[in-house]
A and B are shown apart, each in its own frame.
Chain A
Amino acid sequence: MKSFVSMVKANLKMQVRNRTALFWLLAFPAIFILIFGFLFGKNSDFTATVGVINGHSTPIAKEMTKAMNKSSFFHVNYAASKKEELQKLRQGNIDAVLVFPKNVSPGQTLQVKSYVDKSKLSTSQAVSAAINQVAQQFNQGANKGPKLVAVSTQSVQSHHLRYVDYLVPGFVGMSIMQNGILGLSAAFVTLRERGVLRRIRVTPFPLLSFIAARIVSNLIVVLCQVAILLGMAKAVFNLQVGGNVADVALNVAIFAILGALAFLTLGFFVAGISRKVENANTLGNLITFPMLFLAGVFYPLDQSPTWLQDIAKVLPLSYLADGLRQSMVYGTSVTHLWVDALALIITAIVGMFLAVRFFRWEPRAN
């Protein structure tokens, strides 16, 4: 145990003293977040298109849809056919369908049904939260009387989703991916090809412990990295925190760890099949590069063609970015994000299998 702790400590020291690694770990994502944050932080708001059925049927429905239309967040489409609108929703052309009743007796609560696409967690929750917020405004006046409006979707507290709120968690996820795959594989190939691993091998310290120590120290680093980057974004751009800080931190930490595990194991795999650092970098970039653009880190993929969305569904980064975003911005707990969590766990298992299969301790004989 002492040897394990000692190895972890040594790894941490090396990480902190390695300027290049620190740059990629902190400075690069921080600079990136700042630039994007200042460019898009204020204006470029995220909008949701909502199909509204019976939007003119009752006074309250009229008021409510008008209020929604005024907010810069919603783009309201008055429509007639519920069936058609639901179809559009399924195809991802709109973000929600709001169905008002045809008529309502005085004194009765207006029962509104809201449909969102649960598979698109980031938008669906933002939209339902925003709808609830609008409905809330109508209920506030009537303290004693019955509620004017009741929207039957899950209630999530949400404010305004800005582009920074969307971008920052995804970008942090991307950084976890790059440090997991590129950072780890380069470091490990170097250790192996220079013969450091062989030197460890002649000590009684088990090789598995060496790997485990490496993973543990990497996870510690990742947690610090995520805390620093998100903390910075919170301080500078008032990044949205969707709930009490402790819960959000816990959920974000869980996703950071799952994501790091998924990408670290892939990093070990890349290290195993690469002969030199340059090979590891090339291969690592080959794996990570498509994910940068296709995993919805920079922009939501809801508006993109379905085939693109299908590609995103097999990219682990989509799930990490979504998981981090949901838990950070909307305060969703991991239990509701089990799809994201499961996808990352599966990636980690596959990665582990590949890592073990292609692992080498010895430099490749020339």
Chain B
Amino acid sequence: MRMATPTGNERVRDYPEEAVIRIEGLRKSYGKVIAVDGVDLEVRRGEVFGILGPNGAGKTTTLEMIEGLRKPDSGEIEVAGYDAVRETEKLKKIVGVQLQTTALFDYLSIEETLGLFADLYGADSSPERIRKLLEMVSLTEKAKARVDQLSGGQQQRLSMALALVNDPKVVFLDEPTTGLDPQARRNMWDLVRDIQRQDRTVVLTTHYMEEAEELCDRVAVMDHGKILVCDTPLALIRSLDVDATVLVTVEGDLDGTLEQLPGVDNVEREDNEVRLRTRSTQETITGLMGLAAERGVRLHNLSVRSANLEDVFISYTGRSLRE
């Protein structure tokens, strides 16, 4: 899987905890809109780092400041030893970028586009190298197709290949799976894992909590320009008091009593559908069964969903990620 080792890119794997990106006090406003409001982050070498947040959280602004595309109002950014504000030109050579919306040149074929960008980076643009990149993103059959003839998912994969064209140390992917169907999304996840296996650090943004959970080694939860919390998905979920959410359809009247069940923190209902957020699944379910038997109420479709990043987001913001 490993690509030919490029010259000058020494790969240090002895210090897996070493920070590749260090951000301190990063701020950016557009007029009155504060897009990024004092972000501190550290991304470690070789990890897949996710920034999870709703629309307008400031993910793209943060990423593009790290890429050197936007100028921060204040704050320090260091990427692989380079100052991202003052040494942008050097930085560009060693990072790969997938922008949130990548339009490319019409009238050029896929392979011509890759070849052109390889040349713009001063990277290897030989046919073999281009073929390898195409193989990696499964676009080999489309090599001769024009960019505007690709499907949305294929265009995303092409822009992913473009992010790899210079054999970068750090790869930035801004919402790589937005707008893709579930199958295409899973393919994209595999691709990100492949990239990680080639000893690259990946920083991606997403508003899908499944994606952050499945794919990322560590996740920063972002909202209103601030990082709310940052850790591994598991640690984030464990840190919650919530154990799970119990979902059930109630045929009858249990109003007012559900809140009193042991372990229950929060009750949401929609017609007959009830959601119980609980600290203790076992106690809550036992209590629920007892209550139903006592009142002669029937329960349907009982299911338990273990806590996830959505709950983490709700517990920090009081809102759901999708709102």
Contacts and interface: CB of A to CB of B under 8 A. Distances in A.
A203 B112 contact: no
Contact of A195 (B101, B106, B120, B125): B101
A198 B174 CA distance: 14
Given A202-B97, A202-B99, A203-B92, A2 B119 contact: yes
Nearest to B117: A203
Interface string B90-129: 0011000101011111111000100111011110010000
B119 A6 contact: yes
B259 interface: no
A18 interface: yes
Nearest to A210: B120
A219 to B, nearest CB: 19
Nearest to A203: B120
Contact of B120 (A7, A196, A198, A365): A7
Contact of A196 (B67, B89, B92, B104): B104
Main secondary structure of the interface of B (DSSP, over half): loop
A286 B14 CA distance: 65
A62 interface: no
B15 interface: no
A200 B93 CA distance: 12
B69 A10 contact: no
A195 B99 contact: yes
A10 B99 contact: no
Contacts of B92: 202-204
Interface string A174-203: 000000000000000000001110111111
A14 interface: yes
Contacts of A204: 89, 92-93, 120-122
Contact of B99 (A2, A7, A18, A199): A199
A198 B119 contact: no
B93 A195 contact: no
Given A200-B120, A201-B69, A203-B92, A10 B102 contact: no
A13 interface: yes
A10 B122 contact: no
A337 to B, nearest CB: 37
Contacts of A203: 92, 117, 120-121, 166
A275 B289 CA distance: 64
A257 to B, nearest CB: 25
A210 B102 CA distance: 18
Interface of B: 30, 67-69, 89, 92-93, 97, 99, 101-108, 112, 115-117, 119-122, 125, 162, 166
Interface of A: 2-3, 6-7, 10, 13-14, 17-18, 194-196, 198-205, 365
30 contacts: A2-B122, A3-B120, A3-B121, A6-B115, A6-B116, A6-B125, A7-B116, A7-B119, A7-B120, A10-B108, A10-B116, A13-B108, A14-B106, A14-B107, A17-B107, A18-B106, A194-B103, A195-B99, A196-B103, A196-B105, A198-B99, A199-B99, A199-B103, A199-B104, A200-B120, A202-B67, A202-B92, A202-B97, A204-B120, A204-B122
The 10 closest A-B pairs by CB, nearest first: A194-B103, A6-B119, A205-B120, A17-B107, A14-B107, A203-B120, A202-B97, A204-B92, A3-B119, A10-B116
